[in-house]
Amino acid sequence: PAVIRREDYTPPAWLVPEVSLDFALGVDGTRVVSDLLVRRNAPGQPLRLSGDGIAAREVLVDGRPSNHWRMEGADLVIDLEGDEHRVSIETALNPAANSQLMGLYASNGMLCTQCEAEGFRRITFHPDRPDVLSVYRVRMAGPKADFPILLSNGNCVASGEGPPNENGEDTHWAEWHDPWPKPSYLFALVAGDLVATSDSFTTMNGRKVDLNIWVRPGDESRTHHAMRSLINSMKWDEEAFGREYDLDLFNIVAVSDFNMGAMENKGLNVFNTRYVLADPETATDGDYDAVEGVIGHEYFHNWSGNRITCRDWFQLSLKEGFTVLRDQMFSAAMGSEPVKRIEDVRVLRAAQFPEDSGPLAHPIRPDSYQEISNFYTATVYNKGAEVIRMMRSMANFGAGADRFRKGTDLYFDRHDGEAATCEDFVKAIEDGAGLDLTRFRLWYSQAGTPRVTARLAHEGDVATLHLTQEVPLTPGQASKQPMPIPLRLALFDRASGKHGGEQLVVLDQAEASFTFPGHAEAPVLSLNRGFSAPVAIDAATSQEDLVFLAAHDDDPFARYEALQSLIVRHLVAAAAEELSDDERFTGRHAIASAIAAVLDDTALDDLMRGELLILPGEGYLAEQFAQADPTAIRREREGLKGWLAQALLARFTALHDRASAVPFSLEAAARGARKVKTQALVYLAAGAPEEAARRAAAQYDAADNMTDRQGALMTLCGLDTPGRAEKLADFHARYAGNALVIDKWFSLQAGSLHGDALAHVKALADHPDFTLGNPNRVRSLYMAFAANPAAFHDPSGEGYRIIADLILALDPINAQTAARFVPSLGRWRRIEPARAAMMRAELERIAAAPSLSRDTFEQVTRSLG
């Protein structure tokens, strides 16, 4: 397959100011007539329109059948004489046969579209590149009984009854008009039997916007949280970024077969059901947060993505990195800012750090790709957000004003209506916020997580901080330059437990020293507070100082980080078998006293307490090794957890009792109680399994909400207890027919700490509820399994074979989803040699398969390369 390079960008030869689409809808046969107004943008070029799996039934130029067109591969090429023409093309689609879920497809009898990034070319021939913006008119007609609701972007301008069709069915039609020019990836159409929950929002300038959330009949009662989140998003974007909605209508549709989380189509967001539907009976507190975050994310795209879109797909982080930052800020504003920050960093470390240190490492603005779907990554999204967050910190730290906002105001103002680049964004922030980001731009071009070492020296009354940085080499980037790294820090006085004010230093060289006078005694260093830079820090902080910071740091993230560092350091040494008995003992005791302090600290709210109690994840621990042994990591992590449970048994049972007495509500205090309730079970399961089994079964039985029920079932899933099978059966029967909850039933088993998790996964693959046809279901079983290191990395290599078999079976059905499983095998270089060889062998087996999709081919070859 061809490699597309960022440096090869050229402006479109033809623009398409207007698109009219006419759909004759049917689940297994839809006819599309596309009418394009095309305008020459460069001399001498034919009109080249992309297609994918479609054929032109007829081509008209200026209303007359044309012979001046040909197919070149999948492209339809037309020689045109003049500078402006109307081109009309008819295509025929079979939505029911579209298992890739790109383009127009059927889901439970309803028709919907997904066009980002290159799905529009599966509907009709079009330049299908984000820098070609058009005003769309859409007409659709079809049988009323099958498709009572007909939706597209913008506003419905006309609708009516049509004549009966050839089957004698009543038909109807609707016409939609979207006044805002948009790229083809933002086109959407939905037709089906849907019901709406409706509300409205009046914008800051008095525009009344009708809001609808469309779901399948029966799901209406689970849309209220999504609606509240939408209204909160609209209000927040006005206040935080000055952004007002720009149509009279905003529709959201929930679809159960969806490759991604959701899609920001102009005025018609299409969502995976899992990010819309929520009620206490079926959704956890985590699910509630995810709905709020994704609703916000897609809504915020209306400005950061739709009004200003991307020039080309290499600029994806322009909209995604910025929009992730915006959704993170929104969620922080709706809930707890420090807890949200810790969660975001945990996701970054679990998903992005491994990407950055593996064969698929790429800059947030990639330089090349074969299949753009493979670049919807944690790097582009989450690291992209961190990079913009750093600009925000540098603009705002100590400024006493929101200078970052001046930058974003300028960006929105300067580029509204354009297809922009990451460089445009940086320049606008630079100009608007008054920053010099010359060297900072390296964050857009260099991959790899920088490693910062910090050493604090003390002499007289001066503390000197010596910092060095190293950006690791990554595939295709053989040399790296130092990047500006903004680090928030504080120096604590040991005696008072206080510091004299937070400071920001920017390390923009390979090494630098910073001096801090006024410290009679050597202070304790709190570095990278708030995770101000997405880097790995080696500060060689003593165990004693980590315990001090875990108890005293007034930056909640830094406090969390100190506790994590204490535990990471211990577990890494333990898993590497570098600890003497004595060191193991003192290490565990230091951790126990820090955890005890967290359990006893009455000033902490339970949401934060719950964060602090989460032990560093196995994946993040594995990242600390050049070649990790997943079995040793599991053994030591569970060993520590069990030891802590026994050492602090009374505290954990008391915590579980206290939290269990808090009645259900969606308020923070009650949510916090639910979080620590399950945390207590997690510890008890490792150290007092019988006590845990008894409490978990009771929690399950008493549960009046999914958070408690899932937490209890998760605990039972990891244990050998009769309650395990009993509650699993109860859960399955209780929620039969609720796909999102049955997904949980699969995930809990596939992700469990149970020693037989691998065998359970094999059995679940044959369960009647399992299907390769639904991405949520596939992910619920196999993503949970691939993220369960002890099971996936079973020494037999069977876990690798299971995932490779899945990739091969799924690739022809849904390539995009199949390719997402490759990175778990692609980590082979960072796993101990015996397993690494088996992982590599499975990748080679996949690579040797005939007719792989471009998606999977690219990921597998990069992983082997």
* List of residues contacting ligand DPP (CB under 6 A): 116, 260, 262-264, 297-298, 301, 320, 376
Rounded Cα gap, residues 50 and 118, in angstroms: 9
Q: How far is CA 99 from CA 120, 767, 804, 813, 816, in A?
A: 15, 21, 20, 6, 11
Rounded Cα gap, residues 495 and 486, in angstroms: 28
Nearest distance, CB of residue 322 and ligand DPP, angstroms: 11
Taking the least distance from each CB to ligand DPP, the nearer of 365 and 793 is 365
H or E element that contains 153: none
- By a kind-dependent CB cut-off of 5 to 8 A, residue 623 interacts, out of Zn ion, ligand DPP, none, with none
Cβ neighbours of residue 269 under 8 Å, at least 6 residues apart?
Answer: 250, 251, 252, 253, 262, 263, 298, 299
- By a kind-dependent CB cut-off of 5 to 8 A, residue 260 interacts, out of Zn ion, ligand DPP, none, with ligand DPP
The b/e string for 304-331 (b: 16+ C-beta within 10 A; e otherwise) is bbbbbbbbbbbbbbbbbbbbbbbbbbbb
Structure tokens at 529: 């507070």
- By a kind-dependent CB cut-off of 5 to 8 A, residue 330 interacts, out of Zn ion, ligand DPP, none, with none
Taking the least distance from each CB to Zn ion, the nearer of 251 and 474 is 251
- By a kind-dependent CB cut-off of 5 to 8 A, residue 727 interacts, out of Zn ion, ligand DPP, none, with none
The residue range among 173-181, 229-237, 320-328, 353-361 that interacts with Zn ion, by the rule CB under 5 A, is: 320-328
Rounded Cα gap, residues 387 and 356, in angstroms: 14
Nearest distance, CB of residue 297 and Zn ion, angstroms: 5
Structure tokens at 590: 């230091």
Taking the least distance from each CB to ligand DPP, the nearer of 251 and 336 is 251
Nearest distance, CB of residue 306 and ligand DPP, angstroms: 10
- Binding mask of the shown chain, residues 323 to 342, with x at each position contacting Zn ion by CB under 5 A: x-------------------
Nearest distance, CB of residue 114 and ligand DPP, angstroms: 8
- By a kind-dependent CB cut-off of 5 to 8 A, residue 855 interacts, out of ligand DPP, Zn ion, none, with none
Taking the least distance from each CB to ligand DPP, the nearer of 298 and 555 is 298
Rounded Cα gap, residues 794 and 790, in angstroms: 6
Report phi then psi at 56, rounded to 5: -85, 125
Rounded Cα gap, residues 419 and 16, in angstroms: 14
Taking the least distance from each CB to ligand DPP, the nearer of 191 and 263 is 263
Nearest distance, CB of residue 383 and ligand DPP, angstroms: 14
Taking the least distance from each CB to ligand DPP, the nearer of 78 and 385 is 385
Rounded Cα gap, residues 315 and 304, in angstroms: 12
Widest distance between CA atoms in the chain: 94
Are the beta carbons of 230 and 213 closer than 8 angstroms? yes
How many of the chain's residues bind Zn ion (CB under 5 A)?
A: 2
Q: Which of 134, 100, 138, 135 is nearest to 118 (CA)?
A: 100
- Strand segments, DSSP code E, in 485-573 are 485-493, 498-499, 503-507, 511-517, 524-527, 536-538
- By a kind-dependent CB cut-off of 5 to 8 A, residue 263 interacts, out of Zn ion, ligand DPP, none, with ligand DPP
H or E element that contains 554: none
The b/e string for 75-95 (b: 16+ C-beta within 10 A; e otherwise) is bbbbebeeeebebbbbbebeb
Taking the least distance from each CB to ligand DPP, the nearer of 229 and 705 is 229
Nearest distance, CB of residue 330 and ligand DPP, angstroms: 14
The residue range among 187-195, 317-325, 589-597, 818-826 that interacts with Zn ion, by the rule CB under 5 A, is: 317-325
Nearest distance, CB of residue 564 and ligand DPP, angstroms: 28
Taking the least distance from each CB to ligand DPP, the nearer of 317 and 707 is 317
Beta bridge partners of 477: 474
Cβ neighbours of residue 675 under 8 Å, at least 6 residues apart?
Answer: 285, 606, 607, 609, 610, 707
Taking the least distance from each CB to Zn ion, the nearer of 380 and 810 is 380
Rounded Cα gap, residues 608 and 591, in angstroms: 18
Nearest distance, CB of residue 208 and ligand DPP, angstroms: 26
Nearest distance, CB of residue 298 and ligand DPP, angstroms: 5
- By a kind-dependent CB cut-off of 5 to 8 A, residue 116 interacts, out of Zn ion, ligand DPP, none, with ligand DPP
Rounded Cα gap, residues 40 and 47, in angstroms: 8
Taking the least distance from each CB to Zn ion, the nearer of 320 and 811 is 320
Cβ neighbours of residue 603 under 8 Å, at least 6 residues apart?
Answer: none
Nearest distance, CB of residue 264 and Zn ion, angstroms: 6
Let me know if 111 is exposed, middle or buried by CB neighbors in 10 A (0-12, 13-18, 19+).
Answer: buried
The residue range among 72-80, 188-196, 321-329, 388-396 that interacts with Zn ion, by the rule CB under 5 A, is: 321-329
423 catalytic residue (yes or no): no
Q: How far is CA 785 from CA 634, 767, 800, 807, in A?
A: 15, 16, 11, 14
Q: Which of 646, 649, 644 is nearest to 589 (CA)?
A: 644
Helix 337-347 and helix 316-334, axial crossing angle in degrees, nearest 10: 140
Q: Catalytic pick from 298, 320, 430, 561?
A: 298
Report phi then psi at 843, rounded to 5: -60, -40
Restricting to residues 360-379, which ones interact with Zn ion according to CB under 5 A?
Answer: none
Structure tokens at 817: 């989803």
Let me know if 581 is exposed, middle or buried by CB neighbors in 10 A (0-12, 13-18, 19+).
Answer: exposed
Nearest distance, CB of residue 321 and ligand DPP, angstroms: 11
As annotated, the active-site residues are: 298
Q: Which residues bind Zn ion (CB under 5 A)?
A: 320, 323
